[in-house]
Amino acid sequence: MAMPASEIEALIKAAFPDAQITIEDLAGDNDHFAATIISEAFRGMSRVRQHQLVYAALKGNMGGALHALALQTSAPE
């Protein structure tokens, strides 16, 4: 029931090719991650909408194979 960081990054990268992605494995257990994603695609969107786009990119894995992924999203400065 775990998902490696590389797989998470690949899914996000596929949806947001321009994104700068940082993924941290919080507990070293491949199950609790924090991701920071900076992409032009987020500009002008509410945080809820930004996170919804990331969850969509993860194709239903969030809340399933991916138990915990803390998200921080923004458009480039």
Task: Write out the residues near another protein by the rule CB under 8 A.
Answer: 47-48, 51-52, 55, 60, 62-64, 68, 70-72
In the complex, least distance from residue 64 CB atom to another protein, rounded to whole angstroms:
8
Cα angle: 11, vertex 14, 19; to 5 degrees = 100
In the complex, least distance from residue 70 CB atom to another protein, rounded to whole angstroms:
5
Question: Cβ closer to another protein: 23 or 71?
Answer: 71
In the complex, least distance from residue 20 CB atom to another protein, rounded to whole angstroms:
18
Output the six-digit token pair for 35: 């991701």
What does each C-alpha distance from 3 to 39, 56, 58, 73 come to in angstroms? 23, 16, 11, 20
